[in-house]
Structure formats: C-alpha cells, structure tokens
Structure 1
C-alpha cells in the first residue's frame, strides 16, 4: 500500500522535473514512509514517483517502485494490493517470466506483456490504483479498482496530464491550478458529490471499475474512459420465488466471505481487525481468528454517548474469539480538536466526525506497530444493511403486501430510524425529477443530501451562487449512472446500485476509509468488497437480503455460529460519532473552530460563502424552536461550512508546491 504520482507531457522532449516528482511523493509521505522512488523515461515526457508502505516484500531496494519491465518500454506505479498473486506469479514463471521482486505489484507488467490490459484486469483481485505507461503505444493507462477503494486523481495542465493518489499530490505540481468550482463547492455543502468529480475545478477522479487512457499523437493528448466492471444485478424476473431454498445462499455467502478474508490475511507484517458492534466487523474478526488460529489484534472506537457507543458488544465478540482487544475511548472535545488535520487528509468535507474518530484510530493502530487491518466496509452495500434500503424496500419493493403487514413495516421503520433522521435519512420526503425519470423513484440514500440544497445554496457567496441558478444537483448525479444497470432491476437493487456509486465511493471509502487510514500509514482491507464475493452477493434474492424486520438476513444466517446471540438478534445500529448538538462541550469546540474559519474576515477572504447566511445558520441551530431532526441536519451543514473554509486554507491559501519542497527537504528526499 502506497502513494503514486506522475506526469505525462504533450511534448515528448519535455522531460518532467525529477525534483517535482520527488516533491509529489514527499507530500504524501504519510501514505508511504518506508521509502520513495522515481523514474523519468528518456525522450517520452513521462515520469512516475512512488511513496512506499512496505507490506509485501520488505526488501526496499528490490521492491522499490516505479517498476520498469526488462525491455524498458513499460513503466508502472501501483498503490494497493493484488490478492492471489502467488498463483499468478507461479503461472507466469512457468511461461518464462522472470520477476525482479517478490512484490505483488510486478504481476501487472508480466500480464500486460502477455495478454494485454483487458485480460490483465480480469485477473486482478483486490483494492488497487495504478498507472502504466506503454512506450510502444505511447499511451498511459490510469486504472482504479472495481469499487474505488483506492483513490486516483488526474488533471490536465497546459503541458500535459498530472496524476496522483491524493489532491495535494497534484497541487504539489506548480502548473496545477488550485481553485474551487462553483458546482464542486455546492456539492461539498450538501455532502453527496457527482461521481468522478472533486471540489476543485478541472480535477477529476478515475471512476471505480474504469480505465482512463491518455494517448499521445502528433504532440496532442487524447483522453478516453472505458468501464471494465460494474455492479450488475440480475433482472428482477430472474430471481427465484419466495419458496426458494435459502440454504444454498447462506452457504454460498459463507464460502465466498471466508475466501475473501483468507486472501486478505496475506502480508509480511502482522494483520489486525477493526471491530465495532456490528455483525460485519464481528464476522471478519471471527473468520480471521478461525483462519489464523491465533489471537488477532482487534481495534475498537468507543464514544462517550450510550446512544452511539458499541464497545459492550465489541468486547463480547473479542472475548468470544480470544482477541487482543484495544479500545480507544473518545470524549466530546477530542473530535473537533483534530478536525482541521483530518480535512487535510480527507480533501473533502465531512458531515459527521466519525471521520475524525477513524483518523485517530488509525493513529493508534500505527503507534502499536500495525500497518494492516481488515474492516467490515461493504457489507451494508452488498446485503442491504442501511435504513435507506429498508425504506426503499417498503416503499417500492413490497407492493404485494396486505395493508396489515404494510402498517407493521411502517411502524418498524419509524421506530428504528430515529437516530438517522436528518443525516442518513431525510427529514421529509424529497423528490428529484431526474432520479425519478432515470430509475422510477428517488433513492432514500440521496434524499437527505439533495434536500439540503435549500439550506446550502443561500450559504454560497453571491457571485458563485448566481452561476448555480439553473443547476440541478440530482440531475448531475443521475446522469453519471449507467441506465443499463438500472433497467429491469428490482427496486432494492436499484437503490443499492445508487448507494454504491455515490455514498460508498464518495464517503465511506474516502473520509471513512482510505484517506483517514493512510493518513497514519495504515492499510485497511475491506473483505466484503472482494469482487468474487460481491458478484455472488448480487445473485441473492432481495427477500433474503431484507427478510421481515431483519436487514442483511442471509449474512446473519451465514455467520450465526460466529456471532454472540445478542448481536445475531440485534438490528442495524447507527455507527456515527455523536452530532455536535448532543454535547455542550462538543458545540463549544465547533464555535471555537468557527471563530477561526467562519469569521467575517476568513469568509470574505476565501470568497466561497455568504457571511450573513453563515450567521443565520448558526442562529437557527441555537434556536429552541428547532426540532432535533433539523438540528442533526444543521450539524452536518455547519461541518460542511467549516470544511470548505478549511479546504481553502489547506489547498488554495497555502502554497502547496512550496510546502511539498519543504517536506522533501525535511525527509531528505532528493532527485
């Protein structure tokens, strides 16, 4: 697990500056503190760099990237892990391949030479992002894993294309502009982003399951994007009926999840587990302990609020598996004390301080000498665990139920969704005409964020707000969704598809995943997002994902023997940090940050927000007339306001190229 960076100039005779490549690696030293490398290919205008976190093959000289193939026409920089690579290496060796290192990364070069990119991608299993330059074709490929677990950004400059694992890596290049787009600013304030976009003008992400090809011809660069994988549910009519034997699906989920966990235990360093009180992380810990037959190190976040704290059940699971249990207990004021530093790493706003808690947890994982943990992310996406899915199942997938059963469902939803309203569920129903036209309804997962538009738009500075007069955020997001993956699908499948394409990639795997994990040189491996497991999970009938009042039913049954009884019977819990309004100390910490970043002087200097509207929002939050649901929503909006101002401070106001050079000097990283 590492960080990658590179430059592809239009003019082949214009060699990238070696020190610039080194600076780009240095500014993401947190992603790869164990060493760095760079390579400029002569007469190509191409150069890559790499910051390494050594997990597979700890020999720094042998495994240093970027990698060149033997003939010198292929250049590779890779971030992430390829699983099952030993089998692939053995097969390639039998075909005559000779490996320079024991790294999993090197298989890409040998596969590409023999079978081309399309077949190479079909062989790769894991979480990854890589850049591959082919001198023979004079083309560079930017590739991202199927779910977008690993980040990869790129931008066109006057000279060519710059790419990197983080935005700050791009901004370390002196030719890359650092300015918000009005649309990007708006989406930061409403939480949900347009897939493939960022807050910054011209800066894009490689979409999950996609390849961006940059081809040079006659001194011009042409960019094209192709999809190599997608979330492909069966047609609704292809599912078996309610009388299907569920045993086959229970056994199938168990088999595929165990295989995914076993692959992710592969490392040349110790591997631990994140452990909350949910069935996802508990299942991962249970399977890891069984597969290794050792005491697994388990890490848990504890909050000082009984409504949000899951440590009692986590402790029960840790005891049941004999885990070496490490609990990090957080107080109300811990989270906002580290808010600014967390935003430096997330590079986008966050609605809830869970991202800060995850940042602090990865810090503790690092301090006790661990580099790798298995996590439970992805389970809710595959097996319909979120409250939004139950709501959509009830509204759009259970039309056949008699009135008495529908009433029972309605009462259950009202009872279970109190903690989520205003954040993960909308306070009131919100309809997006664009979503309705695209998929028949507006998914519950995007409603709370799209409904923030009426609050967010007045917050934007007048000059920028005027540019958004006719902007439709729902339409912008809906247009990125592949209609062929929605047409004819069950309503629950459509809802899950939208979540995976928006909230999973743009939130859970960024500010809740890679960015706050790698901030402290810690690699997270989400076993549920193994694509072999995912492709099997897509075949599980909707009524076995949500059965009666049990979300993730098939997973519960598959893991029944591992889970404590209280957890097996427990309903979905809100794994969020307590919102600011729930604790006076936390609210005071918010106000302290606001004094610095949302003062009249700071707001006017940035030119992003309207100061009077900012003041009105705070006054509204402190009004006794405001309901708890609205306070939850306003908590999120205030976090976003702070976030955009902090982003401006970090990446616009700060001279990032100069900061990158300073980091390189401090590290002694020189070309």
Structure 2
C-alpha cells in the first residue's frame, strides 16, 4: 500500500523545476507511505514518477519506482498483488528478470512479456502507473472494483496523476476549484463515475486503464475497460443451492487465506455484521496465532452493534480492540480532517469513525486489516436490492431517509435503461429535491438544465444491464456507482490510508466476484433472506444470533438523535457557514439555508430528520473543502 503521483509535461524539461514540483506532490501523500519515498525522471521527455511507501510485503526490498535494467521502463504500484511468489517463479523459469522481493516487482517483467494484457493476470487491489520510454506512453491502471484510488488531470501542458486529488492540486497547472455540478452530486450523495469534486480532475474508473501518448508534441489520452462485473443474461432455472453454498465457501476461504499473507501482522475489522464476522471466523482458523479484531462502538443503542462483535470475538478467541465514539470524536477537528482526506462530502459520520479506527489500528502497531466490504454487492445484502426484486416488506426503520426512500419514485432515464428506477437511487433523488430550493440564484441558473440523475445513468454501460434479472441490475448499477464512489472511497481507502493503514476487502477478490455473479437470484436471496448463500456457507462460523439476524444499518448515529450531537454540529455551522464563506462558495442562498437549518433542528419525523442531517453534513463539507483546498486553511490538530 502506497501513494503514487507524477506528471508528463513534454515542454518542461528543467530538472530543478521537475524535482521541486514532484516533491510538493509527494509531501501531501506522506500519510499513504511514511516508510520510504522515491522518484524517477525522464528529463528529456518531462516525465516524473513519484512514490511514497507503506512497507507490508518485502519490507527491505520494495523501493519504488522500479525500473528495467536498461532504464527504458519504470513502474510505480499502490496496493497488493497476491500470488506474486508463484508469478515471480514463473518469470524466472522463462528467464525474465524479476529479482525484486516485493509483490510490486512482478509488474514490469509481466508487462514486458505480455504487454498491457498483463493486468488481466493480476490478483489483488492495485493502482499502477507505468512509463514506456520506447513507445513514448504513460499507462495508468486501476483494479477491478476501484479499491485503490487513481486520479488524473489532462490539459494543454500534459497529464498529472495521483493516488489522491490533493497531490494533483499541488501541480502548478491544476488550480483548486470546486465544480458546481459535482457539488450538486455531492449534496445528493451520488457522484458520476469518473468525476471528482474538483474542476478538471477526473477519476480513472475501476476496471479501466488509461494510455497517454505523445503525438505531434502533445499528450493525447484514451481509456479502455479491461474487466467488468458482468452478470449473465440468464441463470440456471433449477439451481442446486448446496452447490453454490460450497462454491462460495471454497472461494472465500481462499480469498481470506490469500489476504493473510504479509510480512507484518494482519488484523480484522469487526462490526456486528455477517460480513466481517465471517472474515474473522475464517481468519481465526487459517492463522496459527489469535487474530486482532478492531471494533467501533457508538453511544446510541439503535446504531450500535458492538455487542454482536463482542460475541464473535469471544467465540473466536480474538483479541478485541473496542473503540467507543461519541460526539466529541465524530465532530469538530476529526470531522474536518476526515473531509480533507475524503476530498468529497459524506452523508454520515461513519467516515469519521473509520478515521478514528484506522488511527487506533496504527497505534496498536498494525499496518493491515482484512475487511468485509463488497459482500452486500455480491450477495444481495442491501435492503434496496431486495425491494427491487421482491417489493416493499417494511417501512425501512433506520434505513428510511438515508438508504431507503419512503415514497416510490421514477426517473425516465432509469426507466429507459433498466425498466425501473433502482431503489438505491430513490432516497438520493428525494435528497436532491430537498437541496435544490437551497441553491443561490446563480447556481439555479447555472444548473437549471442539468439533470444529475440522468448524468449518472449515462455513465452506465447499457449492454451490461439490459436483458438481466432485476436483482442483477440493481446490484450492478449500485456497484458501478456507490461501491467505488462511497464505500471504497470515504468509507474505505481514504480513511484507512489517512493513518497509513491498509485494508484488504476479501469479498472483492475477483475469483469470488466472478463466481458470485453466476449464483441465481433465488439462491442469493432465498425466502426473503438476504445473503442466504453466504449465511449458509458460514453457518458453522457465525453465532446463531448473527446467522438469524436481518441486515443492520451500519451507520453512525445522526446529529438529530441527541442534544450533544446537535450542539456539536451547530458549533461547526457557526464556524464554517459564515456569511463571507457562504458568499465566497456561492452555492447556497444564505437566507434560505439559515431557515432550513432552523427548521431542521425542530423536525420530529425521524425519516425527514435523517435526510436533514444528510443535507447539513454535505453543506458543511462543501464549505470545508473550499476552505481547505481553495483558501488553503490549515488542518486542526486532533487530540
């Protein structure tokens, strides 16, 4: 796990200028790689490659960038490549040089042997940047689900890239400016795949690679998709559930065993959910020594599931580290720091909780944990998946207003693409309706003709949707938008790496995923039970209380749930939503915004109150992002 950044500016070849610029870009990625730093330049071409390293595999042998013996090729890697020892041995048998002992060392000889198709043979979570001086091209590659981030900006002077947007904004050719359309998307929670909060900065989509080539003195780029999370157009009409249960069990055991390999201790994140409990249960039997488990607890019983986590830790003999979080930890300086690391807004302070947890992990001298992200996407775990296939079965409980809509909504673009409007987008459509009246006159005029919901639809490949089962469509569209844009970003990599800690999501192993899409819907969700196939695969691993439990809302308690949290949020509002800053950002009408906040604190309907909390979180963070990145305000210290 590391940070990578760099640029290709063909017209700029001054060594001092290149080094100074790259150093500034690397400085803001120190948290991603505090153990080592490296750079490589191709001065005649204006190419700079930079790397900050968090050493987990090959502790003393992983310096990057890695270059070929003749210097014509160089690569930087962020992430983990599993099975590298076997691949390294195969390369050696083919008389291909792969002398490095880190997992990243296999990438360059594989590229020299296979060309760009080498990426299809990689197993793991990764972002790779490779420079080929012979073909005069720079290649950016992102893993199948987007576990590892990679961003870029292209302009008349060339291309700039980085693991985080903040490094790109340190390049003199990329000014920090919030994008109005992206701001609207953040307010409704759903980003357009491939976009960021900042004008001119794009995200390389998961399962894509980008090729930047020099043509007639200018950099031209093209992107290619090299994999996809593809559901079949039909499923087995008479499935044998036992076959799929065994198939899931076999592949998940292998995925967890693979992710336990490291040259440092590997722990587990442990909530009270089926996913993380399954991971811990398997890791316990796979490891010789007790597993260290890290659990978040909240001060509100409705949102806290640490009692189940404690039960699982006791069952497995895990050494559990329990972190209780209150409004003192979830708001104030930690909230601001989490926003800076996320580089976008988030609807719930679970992101702040994850920041605190990764901090505790590092304080316990752990650099890596295995996590449960991706299970819901693969096995139909979210309540909106079940609703899309089987219809409504309740009013949503704590999900209502946050991830389930209380009304049934339709949008013509979704109806055209899918034949229905997925339930996962509907609460965010309702949030959008709540946000639009808050906009300033200038923003209303600017965005009047812009339909953010249709923009999200336009980014989804219709060939992967049409002709599929409703459950498949729901899972696919969520995975192509919210999995990468939310769960793996502010809910994953960005909060983990903020404290130099690597998360390894075993469920998103592509061997597991490619099998999961073949499982018939009635085996994924059986007799109304979500993730039935996973439950059965883990029946002897999970406590009975958890095996029989419905999906729980893993969110931090929203601000409206107690006076202390409301007071903490109001304190941030008083600091960040000043008249001058609201005017400078220009996104909201100050008077309407003040009236909304006043009314929000008086709301008694829980569903509406949750939606109001979401709007306030996003509003605060848009102004924080402006202050942090546009104004350049320093980050506060966190006790």
Matched, 1:94 2:93: yes
Q: Deviations over 1:613-650 (max 9, x none)?
A: 211210220234x5211110010000000010000011
- In structure 2, the residue matched to 1:490 is 469
Q: Deviations over 1:545-595 (max 9, x none)?
A: 111231000000000010001011111000000111001100100000000
Cα distance between partner residues in 2 of 1:28 and 1:464: 33
Q: 1:335: Cα distance to partner?
A: 0.3
| Cα contact 1:82–1:104 (8 A) shared by 2 | yes
Give the 3-state SS of the residue equivalent to 1:547 in structure 2: coil
Give the 3-state SS of the residue equivalent to 1:551 in structure 2: coil
Give the 3-state SS of the residue equivalent to 1:48 in structure 2: strand
- With structure 1 as the length reference, what TM-score do the two structures score? 0.93
Give the 3-state SS of the residue equivalent to 2:103 in structure 1: coil
- In structure 2, the residue matched to 1:355 is 351
| Cα contact 1:151–1:166 (8 A) shared by 2 | yes
Give the 3-state SS of the residue equivalent to 1:623 in structure 2: coil
Cα distance between partner residues in 1 of 2:368 and 2:96: 30
Cα distance between partner residues in 2 of 1:422 and 1:550: 22
Q: How does 1:35-434 map to 2 (within 5 A)?
A: 35-59=36-60, 62-118=61-117, 120-235=118-233, 238-241=234-237, 243-337=238-332, 338-395=334-391, 410=392, 412-414=393-395, 417-434=396-413
Q: 1:14: Cα distance to partner?
A: 5.7
- With structure 2 as the length reference, what TM-score do the two structures score? 0.97
Cα distance between partner residues in 2 of 1:613 and 1:88: 60
Query: In structure 2, do the counterparts of structure 1 residues 176 and 12 end up closer, same or farther at CA, with 3 Å as the change threshold?
Result: closer
- In structure 1, the residue matched to 2:24 is 23
- In structure 1, the residue matched to 2:616 is 638
Q: Deviations over 1:7-65 (max 9, x none)?
A: 11133746661121122111111100111111111312111111110001111xx4211
| Cα contact 1:144–1:209 (8 A) shared by 2 | yes
Cα distance between partner residues in 2 of 1:101 and 1:91: 14
Q: Deviations over 1:460-495 (max 9, x none)?
A: 332232111011111100011011100110000000
Q: 1:98: Cα distance to partner?
A: 2.5
Cα distance between partner residues in 2 of 1:150 and 1:458: 36
Query: In structure 2, do the counterparts of structure 1 residues 464 and 14 end up closer, same or farther at CA, with 3 Å as the change threshold?
Result: farther
Cα distance between partner residues in 2 of 1:212 and 1:458: 39
| Cα contact 1:192–1:450 (8 A) shared by 2 | no
Cα distance between partner residues in 1 of 2:162 and 2:444: 31
Matched, 1:555 2:534: yes
Cα distance between partner residues in 1 of 2:590 and 2:336: 20
Cα distance between partner residues in 2 of 1:14 and 1:548: 67
Give the 3-state SS of the residue equivalent to 1:188 in structure 2: helix
| Cα contact 2:401–2:610 (8 A) shared by 1 | yes
Cα distance between partner residues in 2 of 1:324 and 1:555: 25
Q: 1:459: Cα distance to partner?
A: 2.5
| Cα contact 1:210–1:225 (8 A) shared by 2 | yes
| Cα contact 2:259–2:370 (8 A) shared by 1 | yes
Q: 1:497: Cα distance to partner?
A: 0.4
The gaps in structure 2 that reach 5 residues or longer are: none
Give the 3-state SS of the residue equivalent to 1:239 in structure 2: coil
Cα distance between partner residues in 2 of 1:282 and 1:137: 48
- In structure 2, the residue matched to 1:665 is none
| Cα contact 2:207–2:227 (8 A) shared by 1 | yes
Q: 1:359: Cα distance to partner?
A: 0.3
- Work out the number of aligned pairs and report it: 633
Cα distance between partner residues in 1 of 2:579 and 2:491: 31
Aligned structure 1 segments of 4 or more residues deviating by more than 6 angstroms? none
Q: Indicate which of 579, 598, 606 corresponds to 2:585.
A: 606
Task: Give the stretch that moved more between structures: 38-47 or 251-260.
Answer: 38-47
- In structure 2, the residue matched to 1:404 is none
Q: How does 1:441-590 map to 2 (within 5 A)?
A: 441-590=420-569
Q: Deviations over 1:126-170 (max 9, x none)?
A: 100011111111111111000000000000234211000001100
Q: Deviations over 1:441-472 (max 9, x none)?
A: 11111111122222222333322321110111
| Cα contact 1:427–1:630 (8 A) shared by 2 | no
| Cα contact 1:450–1:473 (8 A) shared by 2 | no
Give the 3-state SS of the residue equivalent to 1:30 in structure 2: helix
| Cα contact 1:213–1:225 (8 A) shared by 2 | yes
Cα distance between partner residues in 1 of 2:67 and 2:438: 50
Cα distance between partner residues in 1 of 2:587 and 2:575: 15
Q: 1:97: Cα distance to partner?
A: 2.2
- In structure 1, the residue matched to 2:33 is 32
| Cα contact 1:133–1:140 (8 A) shared by 2 | yes
Cα distance between partner residues in 2 of 1:221 and 1:605: 34
Cα distance between partner residues in 1 of 2:508 and 2:596: 39
| Cα contact 2:14–2:43 (8 A) shared by 1 | no
| Cα contact 2:408–2:426 (8 A) shared by 1 | yes
| Cα contact 1:2–1:51 (8 A) shared by 2 | yes
Q: 1:655: Cα distance to partner?
A: 7.6
| Cα contact 2:10–2:45 (8 A) shared by 1 | no
Cα distance between partner residues in 2 of 1:50 and 1:578: 38
The gaps in structure 1 that reach 5 residues or longer are: 396-409, 660-671
| Cα contact 2:345–2:617 (8 A) shared by 1 | yes
Q: How does 1:586-597 map to 2 (within 5 A)?
A: 586-597=565-576
Cα distance between partner residues in 1 of 2:633 and 2:49: 22
